[in-house]
Structure 1
């Protein structure tokens, strides 16, 4: 692990805008060298949290610590963080090399040294051949690499990324996810990445922090959060789960764990449902269902399994699952 790697810790951090709590007493420790995704819907507090770590928002209460230093009152340039913005914020009148070297120029690094460091960073992100071009002459993916090189050239302890992939087309987004993960491993520092995409968080993160209404709902690895959601919100937001209630409480059951059979006339009413939609997805088929009590269910079936017993909209089917596939949700 590099010498500049450090833990990032938030202790009872709050952000208020007047009477509105954007971030509500959250505590979180991100170990050095972690790829952490702050995940949640718009307005959940994830971007406000990122901006407080960066020093672009004042903290209303609590402490933010990087390594052994409380950084609440430090300006952004002295925190050891670097920010990569959603729109990349490249200077249109500066060429690629000058864009990457800009932060070093502001720090007073001599011209020859800062340009040398900029060229080394451009080589690392495979953009050395574009050093003389202006940002407008680059594709979206190339601009992203330049923004990343500009953030990393300052040798930060923590890199902060605010929805960095949202402006890219789906194919390029997948390719850039792989690149971000590779750079995080190579640099060995923590990346803290804000996203509203469950797929993005699961593909990238070592640690997923699910936020809702200014609070942290759950922290864990992608597998832990997806397979063992603690709350109804996490199960629904992560997707791929059915919420089933009975007299004992609520359960999450993964859509791929539901099994559908042709109706047996003797089947109990609470074990049957009506097919409301069938959606072909290539390797899988999504079958939407509605039970007599109004509960909506989703079954994700392998294509070959659906083809053995195809169902159509309006069919009544038996719905089953193994008891061991039920995951109890907090009240």
Structure 2
């Protein structure tokens, strides 16, 4: 298996009939990185992935893989492979033949392509299903086959277009752990498009938040969650209160505020009182939303603390925070 390669996007732009889908973005992804592109529908993340793959022409800028610009090169010459959202397995071919298909198209002999396909099926724990048809597999099994098929050409960069979206929530969590393990074992670059914040936080070494065709922020998941650069990032990632405070726009994480029923002081340096509008039980914690002066505020309250003094919508309450937990947003947010 080939190792990863650096990827650099230099002022990459994509327009469709005059409409800008990706707006002069620049990004460097080091070899061996698990990178997640995330953002709402229409933000440009899938167009970016398709341009890296060579399935979409770029309208401007450069895509550099390793030491060379690959603008205009066909997908087969880029050293990339794409794993599609739908998996796109051939229904009439066995698992082994699905995995070996691209090598067959390149003229590789049957014995050699089957040997390589079987090795990859062992990697993804699907070797005992090699003679089955895709319809005889579960969704998670089909995903493993699609992954093995993507890897058979020894790509230096694997591109994944929302690969977990078709799975049920339980299997999605299991499979994202496996994707991370495969990436570490293979040592190649994974670039994974998702609209799921939790998925990106769990998987990424580098998370890239996109909005309206631009990169709002790129960094580690911890950096993006702890220190969102803009109001958009804070709201998209969730779990943040965006507050106007002394002429500044700031965020305070919902798990770092204090919550007090009855409109008490909440034991904090800054306090806002209001009316409870929603209570959501989430197992380990309870999310309480408050309509307060200046806008909506949210507190994530430990389960035991909440049920010691529970509240219902319509009750008075207070939310407070300390200066140490304030993060100031960019003035352009």
TM-score range, shorter chain: over 0.9
Specify the alignment match of 1:283 in structure 2: 284
For 1:30-69, what aligned pairs fall within 5 Å after superposition? 30-69=29-68
| Aligned counterparts of 1:269 and 1:214: Cα–Cα separation in 2 | 37
C-alpha deviation, 1:269, in angstroms: 11
C-alpha deviation, 1:220, in angstroms: 0.5
Does 2:204 match 1:205?
yes
Equivalent residue of 2:255, what SS?
helix
Q: 1:61 to 1:277 in 2, by over 3 A?
A: same
Alignment root-mean-square deviation, CA: 1.6
| Aligned counterparts of 1:159 and 1:269: Cα–Cα separation in 2 | 47
Per-residue deviation, residues 38-87 of structure 1 (Å, max 9, x unmatched) = 00000000000000000000000000011001111110001000000000
- What are structure 2's unaligned runs of at least 5 residues? none
Per-residue deviation, residues 14-43 of structure 1 (Å, max 9, x unmatched) = 000012100000000000000000000000
Q: 1:260 to 1:104 in 2, by over 3 A?
A: same
Per-residue deviation, residues 175-220 of structure 1 (Å, max 9, x unmatched) = 0001000000000000000000000000000000000000000001
Specify the alignment match of 1:274 in structure 2: 275
- Any conservation in 1 of the 2:249–2:329 contact (CA below 8 Å)? yes
Normalised by the length of structure 1, the TM-score is 0.96
- Any conservation in 1 of the 2:271–2:318 contact (CA below 8 Å)? no
Specify the alignment match of 2:160 in structure 1: 161
| Aligned counterparts of 1:3 and 1:150: Cα–Cα separation in 2 | 15
- Any conservation in 2 of the 1:273–1:291 contact (CA below 8 Å)? yes
| Aligned counterparts of 2:272 and 2:176: Cα–Cα separation in 1 | 41
For 1:181-260, what aligned pairs fall within 5 Å after superposition? 181-260=180-259
| Aligned counterparts of 1:123 and 1:191: Cα–Cα separation in 2 | 20
Specify the alignment match of 1:308 in structure 2: 308
C-alpha deviation, 1:264, in angstroms: 4.5
For 1:11-30, what aligned pairs fall within 5 Å after superposition? 11-30=10-29
- What are structure 1's unaligned runs of at least 5 residues? none
| Aligned counterparts of 2:229 and 2:292: Cα–Cα separation in 1 | 24
| Aligned counterparts of 2:303 and 2:264: Cα–Cα separation in 1 | 23
C-alpha deviation, 1:311, in angstroms: 2.1
- Any conservation in 2 of the 1:34–1:191 contact (CA below 8 Å)? yes
- Any conservation in 2 of the 1:270–1:291 contact (CA below 8 Å)? no
C-alpha deviation, 1:270, in angstroms: 6.8
Q: 1:92 to 1:173 in 2, by over 3 A?
A: same
C-alpha deviation, 1:132, in angstroms: 0.6
Equivalenced residues, count: 328
C-alpha deviation, 1:4, in angstroms: 3.5
Of 319-328 and 183-192, deviating more is 319-328
C-alpha deviation, 1:274, in angstroms: 1.0
Per-residue deviation, residues 214-241 of structure 1 (Å, max 9, x unmatched) = 0000001010000100000000000000
